[in-house]
């Protein structure tokens, strides 16, 4: 039995962070139902990806939330659910009569998880934004740049997924844990801004202790140090070097066949550009796979930079079954790994909306009522 086997989750269809949160919950056993909008034009779909990894292990239905009957369906779902995932801007659910104060009267044990960029309060709460905007305001984006260059967003990993979806998942699990004692639900205000700031905690500590400066691109962990860096190889690929500690740095030099006496001290910050240039020349003398073989089994903290289509082929990743295939789509397996009750990847319930009828039956709607809802285009 998986940890969340008896937990029922309503996932109101939204962009990447919310589906990611729902995917994690589904991987560990939650019954996640996506509530998507109706598609009036059959030539259009609500999802860019026809085979969406985030939909794994979930069921889905389509409901018109602009109708009283559609709202009634959601209220009935809420009455028997544990978690509601709200991906909308603050106030949208309240305008539908589905805000926390409204629905927690129906189900006081409900965990009402609200996942937004700016959070539920503050002068920017209603403003549009994306990952890049949230991590910019958090300070995190300022850390992703080389000296003298503009900040480079790390795709949308930091705000949407780590700071958003993952933080929201943690909030839900904390609220479920607390509910086991109190018997009461609560609202989870998960903001990508908050999450990205939390992920940056280390750097506030480094700055306060004068172990880094705001001259980004010159510090140990932001590309300034030659021993925490990526280097291009002979075949145009890259190796990642993370030899921070002295004992690892020694093995790095051994692998590169560099005499330590020919280099300045590892901690001579002013000489870092010189050391970095030397390392760059050496790494370009061999192909990436040659360097991988040289550093295999060594504590030099040197690894190949793999492309997405190479990840599943690496022997370590293969042995750990890092990736799984669902509907022919390679994707990361559930994480973290639990010894007794591990997560499990299950196929989704089909295309969006394909479970609508079954879900209505589970909610107690009669055959006549279901026919009315379909015929009236309240559900699809």
Would you name the residues annotated as active-site residues?
A: 130, 160
How far is Cα 28 from Cα 31, in angstroms, rounded to an integer? 9
Specify whether the CB–CB gap between 333 and 324 falls below 8 A.
yes
How far is Cα 257 from Cα 259, in angstroms, rounded to an integer? 7
- Rounded to 10°, the helix 288-295/246-256 angle is 130
Specify whether the CB–CB gap between 60 and 349 falls below 8 A.
yes
Residues 6+ apart with CB under 8 A from 110: 78, 81, 82, 83, 84, 103, 104, 185
DSSP letter, residue 70: H
Residue 360 CB burial class (10 angstroms; 0-12, 13-18, ≥19): buried
Tokens of 177: 């844990």
Q: From start to end of 139-272, where are the E strands?
A: 186-191, 228-232, 238-242
Strands in 31-36's sheet, in edge-to-edge order, are 59-62, 31-36, 8-12, 83-86, 111-116, 186-191
Q: Which of 345, 348, 370, 375 is nearest to 357 (CA)?
A: 370
Kindly give the pairing relationship between strand 83-86 and strand 59-62.
unpaired
């Amino acid at each position: 039995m998986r940890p969340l086997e008896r937990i029922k989750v309503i996932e109101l269809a939204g962009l990447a962070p919310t589906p990611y949160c729902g995917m994690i919950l589904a991987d560990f056993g939650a019954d996640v139902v996506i509530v998507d909008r109706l598609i009036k034009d059959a030539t259009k779909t609500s999802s860019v990806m026809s085979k969406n990894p985030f939909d794994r292990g979930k069921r889905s239905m389509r409901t018109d939330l602009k109708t009283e009957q559609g709202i009634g369906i959601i209220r009935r779902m809420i009455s028997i659910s544990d978690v509601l995932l709200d991906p909308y801007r603050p106030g949208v659910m309240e305008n539908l009569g589905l805000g926390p104060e409204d629905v927690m009267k129906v189900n006081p044990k409900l965990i009402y998880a609200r996942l937004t960029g700016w959070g539920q309060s503050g002068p920017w709460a209603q403003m549009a934004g994306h990952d890049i905007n949230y991590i910019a305001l958090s300070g995190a984006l300022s850390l992703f740049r080389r000296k003298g260059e503009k900040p480079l967003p790390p795709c949308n990993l930091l705000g949407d997924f780590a700071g958003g979806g993952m933080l929201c998942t943690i909030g839900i699990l904390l609220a479920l844990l607390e509910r086991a004692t109190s018997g009461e639900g609560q609202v989870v205000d998960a903001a990508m801004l908050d999450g990205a700031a939390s992920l940056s905690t280390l750097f506030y500590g480094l700055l306060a202790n004068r172990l880094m400066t705001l001259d980004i691109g010159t510090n140990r962990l932001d590309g300034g140090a030659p021993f925490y860096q990526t280097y291009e190889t002979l075949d145009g690929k890259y190796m990642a070097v993370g030899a921070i500690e002295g004992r690892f740095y020694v093995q790095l030099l051994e692998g590169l066949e560099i005499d330590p006496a020919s280099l300045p001290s590892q901690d001579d910050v002013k000489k870092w550009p010189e050391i970095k240039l030397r390392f760059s020349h050496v790494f370009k003398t061999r192909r990436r796979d040659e360097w991988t073989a040289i550093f295999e089994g060594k504590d030099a903290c040197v690894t190949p930079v793999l492309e997405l289509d190479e990840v599943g082929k690496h022997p370590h990743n293969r042995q750990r079954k890092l990736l799984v295939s669902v509907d022919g789509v390679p994707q990361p397996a559930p994480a973290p790994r639990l010894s007794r009750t591990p997560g499990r990847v299950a196929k989704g319930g089909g295309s969006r909306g394909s479970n609508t009828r079954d879900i209505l039956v589970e909610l107690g709607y009669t055959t006549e009522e279901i026919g009315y809802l379909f015929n009236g285009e309240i559900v699809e």
